[in-house]
Amino acid sequence: MELRIGVIGTGGIGRDHIRRLTDVITGAKVTAVTDINKEIADKAAKQYHALSFPTGEDLIESPEVDAVLIASWDPTHAGYVLSCIQAGKYVLCEKPLATTARDCLKIMDAEMSYGKRLVQVGFMRRYDKDYRAMKEVIQSGRIGEPLLVHACHRNRTHITSHSNDMTVTNSGIHEIDILRWLLEEEYASAQVLTGKQNKNAAEGLQDPQILLLKTKNGVQIGIEVNMTSGYGYDIQCEIVGETGTVRLPDPSALLIRSEGKHTHQIFTEWSQRFVDAYDNELQQWVNDVKKATLSGPSAWDGYAACITADALIRSRNSGTSVPVTLQRRPEFYD
């Protein structure tokens, strides 16, 4: 039987997920949509033969919806996730899980009281085949113990409302999660460095920012988050171990020899870069929900990322390194 999914938020990624669930993923169909902007929700509903609901809460409560995908704006996530738990429905929430640690804790408490995992966070890089291959190399011991990480997250340009905090909570959050997952440990401290300003960045936006993280075992991590690279959407990651290194390859692209040049394409938009990862993430989620056992990033992962982001923001404001202090991990999330 097909899993009936309701999608909250029919903006950029919401529409892409609706298309994916309809045309790519097997075993699911989108039966309901909603957006604060009724016009775009109605348009998506018409295109995909789904119901359009006036509010997210109406969609969550509908008997036409078995599971919910949240793709609305960041500050709306926590409230909708809590409503899904209250309704006993599985929910895939785009990152971030919530914009405050307090809301992440509320979600974990609600989920633990419900007694079973219902929440998955949209950290889709964990489903990218190259990050997965990097993890296998690390786990095999071929490069020895990891010592250092050099990572970079470059956007060609940014939306005008992009803020200094969003560099961490909306963009760098992907690196925060994927490096915890690759290294399988939590962070101990966080610091942000800023320097010469890119004059092409929006007024008031400090860009680029360097996020420094140190794990509990002392792995030193430097992440360039650059919202105004000017040339493309470019994600890089290299782990330096005791006896070797492993590096994320550039995405495969045609090599072109012409006009005396040897070139290959660099993606310009985030939506082009991790297509397979989004497909894999959603297919796995649908399969898991049907088996009633989630295996993807949990509310704990959303909480750990949020606490780390908070520490980075405090560091940028104070100019010093600050500790990353997580609550004890409940056994529920082991």
Catalog residues that contact ligand NAP under the rule CB under 6 A: 8-14, 34-37, 40, 56, 71-74, 76, 94-95, 122, 124, 170, 270
How near is the Cβ of 35 to ligand NAP at its closest, in Å? 4
Instruction: Kindly provide the b/e burial profile for residues 249-271, where b requires at least 16 CB atoms within 10 angstroms of the residue's own CB.
Output: eebeeeeeeeeeeeeeebbbebe
Which is closer to ligand NAP, CB of 122 or CB of 251? 122
Which is closer to ligand NAP, CB of 35 or CB of 103? 35
- Name the residue whose CB lies closest to ligand NAP: 11
How near is the Cβ of 174 to ligand NAP at its closest, in Å? 7
Given the structure tokens 């692209």, which residue do they identify? 253
Distant-in-sequence, close-in-space partners of 172: CB < 8 Å, separation ≥ 6: 153, 209, 211, 223, 225, 309, 312
Which is closer to ligand NAP, CB of 38 or CB of 214? 38
Closest CA to 267 of 238, 229, 239, 237: 229
Which is closer to ligand NAP, CB of 12 or CB of 319? 12
How near is the Cβ of 34 to ligand NAP at its closest, in Å? 6
Q: From residue 87, how far is each of 5, 102, 280 by CA, in Å?
A: 14, 21, 26
Which is closer to ligand NAP, CB of 135 or CB of 153? 153
β-bridge pairing 119-121 and 322-323: unpaired
How near is the Cβ of 24 to ligand NAP at its closest, in Å? 16
How near is the Cβ of 195 to ligand NAP at its closest, in Å? 26
Contact between 97 and 69 (Cβ < 8 Å): no
